[in-house]
Amino acid sequence: MRVRLIALSLFVSAAMAMPAHAASSTATAPIRVQNPNGIWCGVTNVSSKPIDVSIDIVGSTGAVLSGGPAVNLAPGETAGPAASSPAINGFVYCRANGFSSKKVHVTTCVVTSTTIANGNGECLGLTAAP
């Protein structure tokens, strides 16, 4: 009986130490990017309220290659960072932090470095979530 009480108290203590919910995120599948090409991450707010969301470009090692402060997105609005650097030479993906796929959709688009510099152009390849 004593062992059960100790186990129960440890379980309750551990449960109380855990946050009520973990911060969610939505990420695309990885896509291969080769120099001199770069990447553009687009996040669309598919909820009915404005949100503040931060967007990361994540490399194959899990390191954040590019990111920044949260951006405010109105319902239906899309925004995102673009990056072109020697560090992006392999598989990368885009991640929207703080929201599940019920609230945001994320697109990763491989673009040329010229497209990034000019702010226009077409995707050479893309992947999306959900």
pLDDT digits (tens, 9 = 90+) for 24-46: 899 999 999 988 888 888 899 99
User: Where does the pLDDT of residue 9 fall: very low under 50, low under 70, confident under 90, or very high at 90 and above?
Assistant: very low
| Domains of the chain with CATH codes | 22-129 (2.60.120.260)
Mean pLDDT on 48-63? 92
Mean pLDDT on 118-124? 80
User: Where does the pLDDT of residue 120 fall: very low under 50, low under 70, confident under 90, or very high at 90 and above?
Assistant: confident
Mean pLDDT on 82-93? 80
The angle at the Cα of 55, spanning 37 to 73, to the nearest 5 degrees, equals: 120
* Torsion angle (degrees, nearest 10) of CA 44, 111, 66, 92: 90
